[in-house]
Structure 1
């Protein structure tokens, strides 16, 4: 009797655990409050225990990854030429990477002419992504994964407008808490899923600064012959700030789907 009850309780616990995992899948692959749904990790047309098993197999056993074609409008992951895998997030009518770019080769396999880990520390590059000057963005060989590109200033503005404008969009785009962001990380909710990180920057002089305080993101739009538009998130404001800087400066890159 006790053995039977133990088996039953074990199965119930197992199913409850899988239910939690399925809920996690829905949270990761669903744009809450919208009609976009992509929790079908194995692309069988159903959202069930099989999807949980599929994710477990991928994360813990090394099996097949979630199907990147399960949601053509915004596949859950994208892989660059170096094999780095990035989570994605649908925001409005756009599909964004939810992580900073880490690639060190152009799309054709040629090595990038320049890139940096903050303070030359590879661990920083792993967490916050690489820092790039604008010249690698302008190179015709392409730095973004196939089917993706570095956003224009107008595409950034589309994102900011969707999130309610410059005064509040920054908070909706920042990772919450003060583990990576310096306190007080004003207004951070990450309700967009963008998960912006304070990766800092590299000056053209070779100095690094502002990790923990600021996340900076290039656009492709030139202001003049020597400067380009970029956006930044800051630790002490919910604003997203739009400005220009010289092409030699190195910032983070986020890509948007074609």
Structure 2
């Protein structure tokens, strides 16, 4: 499947998640031990207080960035959504000479607070590997237990307090709010677009232009 179209297909899909039981409750049965894989959590303050969680060898923010950067918006341009999802960020800007959208690397390099950075694609892949190589299992362990009621894919079990909410993205044609989550990465897919990491039934990578949520990772 064309990665660029993943976002739009995930919004339109009508299948139920394979990781939910008939009762609607999610379950994972194996030898995964959250107390070993993700043993620590806490808070840090950078203008506002952010929860964080340790997963494997990585320390991640356990909630979405809510820094009011230039060009960022609340989902649906509804200010109350920022309290729930954090802000959504545009990472491309028109080139002054050509008018063509280009990646704003100054934004990519500076949007996260000091001591933290926007994760690269490989860091998201490492996170997935820490909680389960198979995309459906990994997504189930990282998604929040609430907030996915409108989703075709169902809620998660949130074993590491990573608490992924279905903030979706934002364009004037679609948002996917309530059905999926898409996080911006610091890895370029080509000259004009970066990869993003998605959560719906599973988790994985795609790329395309839009507004995305951000999770920062500790340096």
* TM-score with structure 2 setting the length: 0.72
Pick the structure with more helix per residue: 1
TM normalised by structure 1 equals: 0.62
The verdict on how the C-alpha distance between 1:162 and 1:132 changes in structure 2, with shifts beyond 3 A counting, is: same
Q: How do residues 8-157 of structure 1 correspond to structure 2 at under 5 angstroms?
A: 32-34=34-36, 76-80=42-46, 83-104=47-68, 112-135=69-92, 138-139=105-106, 142-157=110-125
Gaps of 5+ in 1: 1-30, 39-73, 105-111
Q: Could you list the runs of 5+ residues in structure 2 that have no partner in the other structure?
A: 1-32, 93-102
Look at both structures and tell me which one has the larger radius of gyration over its CA atoms: 1
Where relative contact order (Cα < 8 A, 6+ residues apart) is larger, the structure is 2
C-alpha displacement at 1:143, in angstroms?
Answer: 1.1
Structure 2 equivalent of residue 65 of structure 1: none
Partner residue in 2 for 1:158 = 126
Q: How many angstroms apart in 2 are the aligned matches of 1:113 and 1:33?
A: 39
Shift of residue 32, structure 1, vs aligned partner = 5.0
CA distance in 2: counterparts of 1:208 and 1:35, whole angstroms: 36
Aligned equivalents of 1:212 and 1:182: distance in 2?
6
* Corresponding residue for residue 143 of structure 2: 174
Count, aligned residues:
175
Q: CA deviation at 1:180?
A: 4.5
Whether 1:231 and 2:192 are equivalent positions in the alignment is no
